[in-house]
Amino acid sequence: MDMKTVRSQAREQLKGYCRVCPVCDGRACAGEVPGMGGVGTGSAFKANIEALAAVKLNMRTVHGVKEPNMRCTLWGKTLEMPILAAPITGSTYNMGGEMSEEDFITAMVEGALEAGSLSMTGDGADPTMFDSGIKAGAANKGSSIAIIKPREQEVIKSHLQTAEEAGVLAAGMDIDGAGLVTMAMKGQPVGPKTKEELAEVIAATKLPFILKGIMTPDEAEAAVAAGAAAIVVSNHGGRVLDCTPGAAIVLPEIAKRVKGKAIIFIDGGVRSGADVLKLLALGADAVLVGRPLIIAAFGGGRDGVAMYLKQMQNELLQAMLLTGCADVRNVSSEIVYTD
């Protein structure tokens, strides 16, 4: 099996929901929510791609970096690369249902583990979404991260307890799901949280807590002040609010405020190892990948997920060699080209 075969098979499996475009840039699927697209005009999805494309790398080949280190550590877990699977749910109404929710998230968790990384698991209106992620996490203890929607406080606390009992590595909330159309359609109460409400749910768990959906420096600081161990700079793949900037644009200012105070993840439009290196240079500690891994899972199961992550790892290695980066834990902003 190769990625060409995986993409061909995924095109059949995802028919009517994802075209498996040669360039996944949100143009063909604009407005398709539920589905794989960006909300409204799709501009927020496109902005993620455009923001990364605007970042250029300085090529350097006169240096002593021969074997770059791509390993990183998250809460005692060593990963072979700073590239994780993003929390994704909705196999039935976003992806067509050719894979069950349980089969999909199992492929994500086990495929990421096979590649030497790990997967976040998500939450949604159908209980099987969160439950499938928890089941996969329990079967692979310490190798997944459970992410919960911004539900009512007591529901979040209950889900956090379930995640603890399953033995996941960490847990968190995708607060950017506060206005998610698909949740509203299913009658699930989600919404924004105050700093006090965040502190309350973070204090309710022993697990490291991640707040996903940060797009401004002040909210990054608020997350850290509330006790978050990590944040994810993310506009939810452009699926919740039209007309937001790309995540790569806002990352540097956020990093200036909270780098070293919390782990900084980022997602949005990541398609290659070079994209990963760009984001590390702009201030991220690790990067999440979403839509391409849906294609990998539907086209090749766990092996497809592992294959795509390893491909990105190899691309990251090449990019590090050609920019003189010795270690993913210390990527200089100087590798980014400026006029």
**What are the tens digits of pLDDT across the range 246-262?**
999 999 999 999 999 99
Report the run of H or E that residue 83 belongs to, with start and end.
Answer: strand 83-85
Phi, psi at 103, each rounded to 5°: -65, -40
* pLDDT computed for residue 1 by the predictor: 87
CA distance 219 to 129: 28
Cβ-contact 117, 242 below 8 angstroms:
no
Coil/strand/helix, residue 118: coil
Which of residues 179 and 163 earns the better pLDDT score?
163
* pLDDT computed for residue 187 by the predictor: 78
* pLDDT computed for residue 182 by the predictor: 67
pLDDT, one tens digit per residue, over 115-148 is 999 999 999 988 899 999 999 999 999 999 999 9
CA distance 157 to 175: 15
- Cα angle 220, 221, 227 (rounded to 5 degrees) comes to 95
- Concatenate the DSSP letters of all residues of 186-200 into one string: TT-------HHHHHH
Closest by CA position to 130, among listed 147, 118, 143, 113? 147
Decide if pLDDT at 180 tops 80.
no
pTM check: above 0.85: yes
Tokens of 7: 């993409």
> Which single residue is written with the structure tokens 């699977």?
85
pLDDT, one tens digit per residue, over 266-314 is 999 999 999 999 999 999 999 999 999 999 999 999 999 999 999 999 9
CA distance 151 to 41: 27
Is 159 tagged catalytic? no
CA distance 332 to 33: 37
Mean pLDDT of the chain: 96
Closest by CA position to 328, among listed 272, 259, 279, 268? 279
Tokens of 126: 């159908």
> Which single residue is written with the structure tokens 């644009």?
249
CA distance 266 to 231: 8
Averaged pLDDT for residues 33-45: 95
What's the half-sphere exposure (Cβ side, CA atoms, 13 Å) at 54? 13
Tokens of 161: 């307890």
Averaged pLDDT for residues 150-177: 97
Q: Pick the catalytic residue: 236, 271, 278, 310?
A: 236
Closest by CA position to 231, among listed 288, 192, 270, 275? 288
* pLDDT computed for residue 179 by the predictor: 79
* pLDDT computed for residue 287 by the predictor: 98
